[in-house]
Amino acid sequence: IIAWLLKKRKTGLLLNCLLIYTRTLNDVTAMKVKCLLVDDEPLAIRLIQNHLAQLDAFEVVATCSNAVEALDVLRSTRVDLLFLDIKMPRINGLDFLKTLQHPPAVIITTAYREYALEGYELDLIDYLLKPITFERFIKATERYLRRREVADHVEAETQGEFINIRADRKFHRVNHNDITLIESVKDYVIIHLQDRQITAKYKIGDFELLLPMSSFLRIHRSFIVRINKIQAFTFSEVEIDGKQYPIGTNYKNEVIKSLQLTIPKTDRRDQ
């Protein structure tokens, strides 16, 4: 096309086409998810870079080897998604995260299971254990994209620790820390709180995206449960407040893996 325009001496049209192309390219670039990678292991940084390079929606804006460097980047650069290691020099990742007043979305990348429980108390997108497979990485990034889409388009707004739930012709202001579990019943959901229940016309998937899934777990097509409310579990069910709830076949691997993250390591002689 460019050669044809030059041959026909359509320089004005060519300049207009180039201008439109440049604007479109800039718009596409601006829409990309800006990612900051923080890890003191160069190989770990390279792996995440390689994973992100295969995803058109994401762009790496900087890489850092410690939290101090990361803080400088966050002060000067737009960051939408932070991939954060835990064990690093000077200050660990979770302690660093707690110092941020307005942190971006965060995906933890670590080789250590024992920090998972502490991580669940923060509003993490996901907690990835090294070595991170591309399949598992995809799930984490898709979770981020879904949550961002809901935040942009759904009016069941979240305000810090609160969500506004439409039911009974009014909005119920609910602290998500008070939610024990969410149950899907046909076209409705029942939100089980510490002191009451709310029945509302939602899809259970809406809550999977709106709630901090570092604190909640989808165990079945009909159930989302708060992780720290689980008192016991087997490979087929979890127990909350003395009641058993089934683990769905399609959710079993992810559920068991997530729950085992919260089990402290013990000496094999004690097992």
Dihedral, 260, 258, 224, 143 alpha carbons, nearest 10: 180
- Provide the mean pLDDT of the chain: 82
- Is residue 243's pLDDT more than 60? yes
- Report the distance separating Cα 140 and Cα 148, nearest Å: 13
Per-residue pLDDT, 192: 96
In terms of pLDDT, which residue wins out, 11 or 82? 82
Extents of the domains making up the chain:
32-152, 156-260
Burial 188-213 (b: 16+ CB within 10 A, else e): ebebbbeeeebebebebebbbbbbbb
| 186 vs 119: which has the higher pLDDT | 186
Query: Quick one: average pLDDT of 237-254?
Result: 92
How far apart are alpha carbons 230 and 59 in whole angstroms?
37
3-state secondary structure of 33: strand
- What digits encode the pLDDT tens for the residues 201-242? 888 888 877 787 778 999 999 999 999 999 999 999 999 999
Q: Which residue has the higher pLDDT, 201 or 18?
A: 201
pLDDT confidence of residue 155: 44
Contacts of 103 (CB under 8 A, 6+ apart): 82, 97
CATH superfamily entry for domain 32-152:
Response regulator (3.40.50.2300)
* Residue 165 Rama label (left phi>0; alpha psi -120 to 50; beta): beta
What's the pLDDT score for residue 38? 97
Q: What is the mean pLDDT of residues 244-260?
A: 87
CA distance linking residue 52 with residue 70, whole number of Å: 19
- Whole-number pLDDT of residue 263: 54
Report percent pLDDT > 90 for the chain.
51
Give the pLDDT confidence of 144-196 residue by residue, as tens digits: 988 787 655 444 455 557 888 888 888 898 998 899 999 999 889 999 998 89
Whether 27 has a pLDDT exceeding 50, the answer reads no
Q: Could you say which architecture CATH assigns to the domain 156-260?
A: Beta Barrel (2.40)
pLDDT of 29 reads 45
Non-local CB neighbours of 187 within 8 Å, separated by 6+ positions: 201
- Compute the distance between CA of residue 165 and CA of residue 172 in angstroms, rounded to an integer: 5
Cβ atoms of residues 200 and 186 within 8 Å: no
Angle between helices 134-153 and 42-53 (to 10 degrees): 60
